[in-house]
Amino acid sequence: MKFIKSIIYISICLLTISCDVELDSEVVIPKTNNITSELSVAGDHFGPGITVPVTVTLSQTFSKKVNVTVSATSKEATTTNATFTVNPGDTSVTGNLSLPATSNPLAGYAPKEAFVTVKVAGLAVMDEETDDKGVVSLVNDPNDTTTMTSNEVSLDYYTQLPPVSGAGSFVYLLDWDDPSEFDIDLQVIDAGFTSIFESSASGDRYESDFFNNSHPDGDYDFYFRIYTNDQSTTTSRDISYVLFTTQPDGTRNIYKGIIPAGTATGGARIDFATLTAAGDAYTFVID
């Protein structure tokens, strides 16, 4: 009987130990912090490779630095990313995002609607670590359980936009309807009509040039020169065009217009805009 009692006592003891182990190893799931964000993209026309300001506004502040990653994805599945750091106590951050390139030129002079989608791809709460040389770096907070939802912004896309000049020049680019039928060149001549200061006659779909800041201050006229495949003396129909300009500070403007049917061709100069230059400051007006 003593032997049987010993077995019973040992079994009860093992059962008690087993229960204690299960309680000690119970998993505690941390509470998830769900927040929202609002995304905005500055600008009114967009194209491959240009840099645009992006602002992300969070629904709450954090006691630590937060990295927010923004992505831009085209319908060709090309993607660019940028990461911005929100400082403790702040709810918003603005940074620059480079838009994705296109593998092929987009057909037509009109923009492709909703060709690129910009969204907040992720958020991470960060810890600061200092190495033995005193260099501070950011690492992911291992206890971060934040999740975020955000709006998406769709961008209409032009296939090509003029670059920003680092030399204080005024940059312009012309695109138009059906360049296979109509070849349009550009000339810039001073108001006194003494000299041709800029001329763009590439024969390609686009005509683009730099008005150099070394040119004298004053007023200049922009001219179309139109050529047709059939050597006709006037245009047979209206030609829609879009002209992009870029100021030295990176400001881009877009001008849309129509060259009416019956406009003289064969290289006749058609005055359509005026540029006033004063150092690195330029005022451009469509006539």
3-state secondary structure 99-132: CCCCCCCCCCCCCEEEEEEEEEEEEEEEEEEECC
State the pairing for strand pair 33-41/146-150.
Answer: parallel
Of 213, 223, 234, residue with least CA distance to 278 = 213
- Position 39 scores a pLDDT of 97
CB 73 within 8 A of CB 130: no
Examine the pLDDT at 152 and tell me if it is beyond 90: yes
Whether CATH 3.40.350.10 fits 33-157:
no
* Higher per-residue pLDDT: 247 or 205: 247
Q: Cα(270)–Cα(273) distance, rounded to whole angstroms? A: 9
Strands (DSSP E) along the chain, which ranges? 33-41, 51-58, 66-74, 79-86, 92-98, 112-130, 136-140, 146-150, 152-157, 170-176, 182-190, 196-200, 207-211, 218-228, 239-246, 252-259, 269-278, 281-286
Token code pair at residue 168 = 């204080």
The pTM of this model reads 0.74
* Higher per-residue pLDDT: 162 or 82: 82
Question: What SS3 state is found at 154?
Answer: strand
Read off the pLDDT of residues 168-194 as tens digits, 9 standing for 90 and up.
999 999 999 988 899 999 999 999 999
Read off the pLDDT of residues 125-146 as tens digits, 9 standing for 90 and up.
999 999 888 898 999 999 989 9
Q: Give domain limits for the chain.
A: 33-157, 170-286
Round the average pLDDT of the chain to a whole number and report it.
Answer: 88
Q: 170-286 maps to which CATH number? A: 2.60.40
pLDDT above 90 covers a percentage of the chain that reads: 67
Q: Cα(214)–Cα(196) distance, rounded to whole angstroms? A: 14
Read off the pLDDT of residues 61-105 as tens digits, 9 standing for 90 and up.
999 999 999 999 999 999 999 999 999 999 999 999 999 998 877
- Position 109 scores a pLDDT of 75
